[in-house]
Structure 1
Amino acid sequence: MNILHIQSSPRAESSNSIELTNAFISACQATKDTVSVDTLNVWTENLPEFDAGAIGAKYKAIKGVGLDARETEVWTRIQSLIGRFQKADRILLGAPMWNFSVPYKLKQLIDLVAQRNFLFTYDGNEYGLALSIDKAITLYTRGSQFLEGSAIPASRFDHQAPYIDFWLSLIGVHNLRSVIVDKAWNLDAKESELSIADGKKRLLENVDWFLS
């Protein structure tokens, strides 16, 4: 079983999301010795810019037009990233909340790999799945707690979990579970510690389901 482990925090060992998803990976490896892990950290991966040159290379490749050396290099890198999704049997994705959404490097990865006929299809009328990944788990950390009826309802402020969960379903994840860790960092250090511990417990409760 190949697990694509996507990390989107730049804080390495100081990151709560990485700490929690690493614990989940360790539990998976302890439970099933055939697990292999492909760790994709969006900050250390040296992602190519999806700039005018990359977009031009994409359109040339789609149309079957010859690419120059620079275009070939960037399109090859994009195809390599796409291939890591295509090879995955499971996806584990951890993301902190930045400005009510996701870190910009995670969005950069999505913009690079979410190419028509590679991670999704579109016939002019409707979108279809290009992958078939049985299960994924998303782990979200944030400093606040967004509750309907409060001054900061999720329906207005949470542009993190809804977007990523939607995107994973769009590309072909059939069964998705999410663990949200609220108040992971705030002025009350004890509250944050308890929240992270609870999030870890809830995440690890999904190991058997994830591997089955």
Structure 2
Amino acid sequence: MKKLLHIIATPRGDASSTLKVSGAFLVAFRQKHQGWTVDELDLTKEEIPSMTVKRVDGKYALLNGKDLSGEMKESWNEIVSQIERFTSADVYLISVPMWNFSIPYTLKHYMDVIIQPRYLFRYTANGPEGLLKDKKMVVITSRGGDYSSAEGKKMDFQEPYLRSAFGFVGITDITFINAEQMAYGEELQKKSIIASQEKARTLATQI
């Protein structure tokens, strides 16, 4: 059975502009793909393991081509559990607001946990190689300002970072739906959300 992993990186619940858009996506997606499983990972509710000294040592051991054993391997198993949950998905939906021109710390923490050598990428004689091929990702964001202009793009460290980081591990088919101008008043906010919801519904039927 195919799976969509919905990664939620906003703590605002029903008040979230981001989730209003991703909610529209999911309704349309479930109607189109009734045989799929939707796995929800709420980063503000689920406990993501920390990168302790022992786990960081494990990462460097893997980078140096060594196998893990003993306490280091046992400690690393929690990381592997998160990695396997991520890699088992066929499609990813990330609901993420823009915080300080980038992503919330919860999503950065999660990415630091799952993006590990041997699992999501490997180093070869020709350089790094992403191991997650033929997967799709949809990123739905909400932003207080307008980052669609040439000047606005200079301050957008969210989309370029996510494209680069997930592209590094092989996920290059990434579509962004950005609900802009959330802080520009109720009228513009509502208009932007409605337009983004329509884009989300259309995209959900095309996957």
TM-score by length of 1: 0.88
Paired residue type of 2:83: I
The 3 A distance-change label for structure 1 pair 45 and 124 is farther
Is 1:197 aligned to 2:197, yes or no? no
SS in structure 1 at match of 2:135:
strand
RMSD: 1.9
SS in structure 2 at match of 1:206:
helix
The answer as to whether partners of 1:135 and 1:176 remain within 8 angstroms in 2 is yes
Paired residue type of 1:146: Y
Could you say which residue in structure 2 is the equivalent of 1:66?
Answer: 69
SS in structure 1 at match of 2:147:
coil
Could you say which residue in structure 2 is the equivalent of 1:183?
Answer: 181
Paired residue type of 2:10: S
TM-score by length of 2: 0.90
Could you say which residue in structure 2 is the equivalent of 1:166?
Answer: 164
Residues 56-108 of structure 1 show CA distances to partners (whole Å, capped at 9, x for unaligned) of: 2334566224232xx44541111011101221111111110000000001000
The answer as to whether partners of 2:96 and 2:142 remain within 8 angstroms in 1 is yes
Identity among equivalent pairs (%): 26
Paired residue type of 2:70: L
Residues 119-168 of structure 1 show CA distances to partners (whole Å, capped at 9, x for unaligned) of: 1122265221211243221111100002445xx431x2000011112222
Where in structure 2 are the equivalents of 1:65-144 lying within 5 Å? 65-68=68-71, 71-123=72-124, 125-144=126-145
The 3 A distance-change label for structure 1 pair 187 and 138 is closer
Distance 1:31 1:147 in 2: 30
The 3 A distance-change label for structure 1 pair 4 and 147 is closer
Paired residue type of 1:188: G
Where in structure 2 are the equivalents of 1:17-56 lying within 5 Å? 17-56=18-57
Paired residue type of 2:133: S
The 3 A distance-change label for structure 1 pair 65 and 77 is closer
Q: What residue ranges of structure 2 are gaps of 5+ in the alignment? A: none
The answer as to whether partners of 1:140 and 1:181 remain within 8 angstroms in 2 is yes
Give the paired residue count: 204
SS in structure 1 at match of 2:47:
coil
Q: What residue ranges of structure 1 are gaps of 5+ in the alignment? A: none
Higher relative contact order (CA 8 A, sep 6+): 2
Distance 2:86 2:138 in 1: 14
The 3 A distance-change label for structure 1 pair 124 and 153 is farther
Paired residue type of 2:118: N
Residue 199 of structure 1 and its aligned partner are, at CA, apart by 0.8
Distance 2:8 2:76 in 1: 23
Distance 1:10 1:140 in 2: 14
The 3 A distance-change label for structure 1 pair 87 and 80 is same
SS in structure 1 at match of 2:70:
coil
The 3 A distance-change label for structure 1 pair 73 and 17 is farther
SS in structure 1 at match of 2:50:
coil
